[in-house]
Amino acid sequence: MGPVRVFVDGLSALRFDDGTPVTAASGIAPLGDGWLITQDDATFAAWHRDGGISPVRVLPPVEGLDRFTEAQGTKRLKPDLEVACPAEVDGEAAVLLLGSGSSARRKRGVLVRLEDGRPVVAAGDLDLLYERVAQQLGLTMDQLNLEGASRHGSVVRWYSRGNLAAGVASGSVDVPLGALVAAVLGRVDAGSVPVGQPRVYGLGAVDGVGLAVTDAIALPDGRELLSAAAEDSPNPVDDGPVVATALALVDGGTVLDVAPIPEADSRVHKIEGLALRAVRGDQVQLLAVVDADDPAAPSAELELRVDLAP
């Protein structure tokens, strides 16, 4: 098999209609005629449509706050919604948002769907499910950092971001989508959701910094594209300098190829969310969103083109 090649065809800054920046963009999935983008530092998401970007409240304020920053000492309060994945609620299209699980406040799921064209939100605690996922992956709760997910029909493949410096590999488990949705809605106990056998992914390193999974998207043929970042951090949770990013083509638990993502605007962009726009033969078009780890900077949205060797 020949190499995968990645091209950046577009770059734009994400701002709400009032001019305030969309920050810490960490997941993206289709909603209605647009895309729902989750911010991991806020209690509201961004609905990006042709007419602009509007906020969608997905969780109530935490101690009166809707945004959280390390500089203000409020980072510990954030719900850290990292995953945006297509789903259904009672047959209607929805977006499933999931917390990272990296602290007690970050173990919630949120479902966003449209009624009469307006977003409707439901949220639920998933503590027991996060504990089972960590156990299945062989991780302690302080090592768990669930940052991405891909949908495969009736299954969600849920990814934990690793950190080679801390001896933690990136891994995934499969969870039935229907049971996960039911748990968020409170229709079943979160501890009853089945968790599949783990997969572990070795993606290599750049300049001595290991690549770790930040999101995933399923392709029509069952393979996946994983986004990965080489972030120089001592553990799977804390931020650090990002030396490179990449896309990995994966089939089941087998990594077929890892391709660098070119710099855009002379910068390495830490892609944390992927969405599939189109597949035409061996060419895949993606939307990607970036967490800049800067509360004052608008997140970037990248248009990526991926050429897969036949």
Q: How far is residue 61 from each of residues 43, 77, 113, 133, 225, measured CA to CA in Å?
A: 6, 10, 20, 27, 34
- Whole-number pLDDT of residue 1: 45
Count structural domains, the chain. 1
Output the DSSP codes for 260-298: EPPPBTTB---EEEEEEEEEETTEEEEEEEE--S-TTSP
Distance CA 278, CA 183 (A): 31
- Domain boundaries, position 252: 5-307
Distance CA 119, CA 37 (A): 13
Distance CA 85, CA 151 (A): 7
| Phi, psi at 126, each rounded to 5° | -125, 30
Distance CA 123, CA 38 (A): 14
Mind listing the pLDDT tens digit of every residue in the chain (310 residues)?
Answer: 458 999 999 999 999 999 999 999 999 999 999 999 999 999 999 999 998 999 999 999 999 999 999 889 999 999 999 999 999 999 999 999 999 998 889 999 999 999 999 999 999 999 999 999 999 999 999 899 999 999 999 999 999 998 888 889 999 999 999 999 999 999 999 999 999 999 999 999 998 889 999 999 999 999 999 999 998 877 656 667 888 999 999 998 899 999 999 998 888 999 999 999 999 999 999 999 998 878 888 999 999 999 997 7
Tokens of 25: 């963009």
**CATH code of residue 44:** 2.120.10
| Phi, psi at 256, each rounded to 5° | -85, -35
Distance CA 106, CA 127 (A): 9
- Whole-number pLDDT of residue 238: 65
Distance CA 70, CA 154 (A): 37
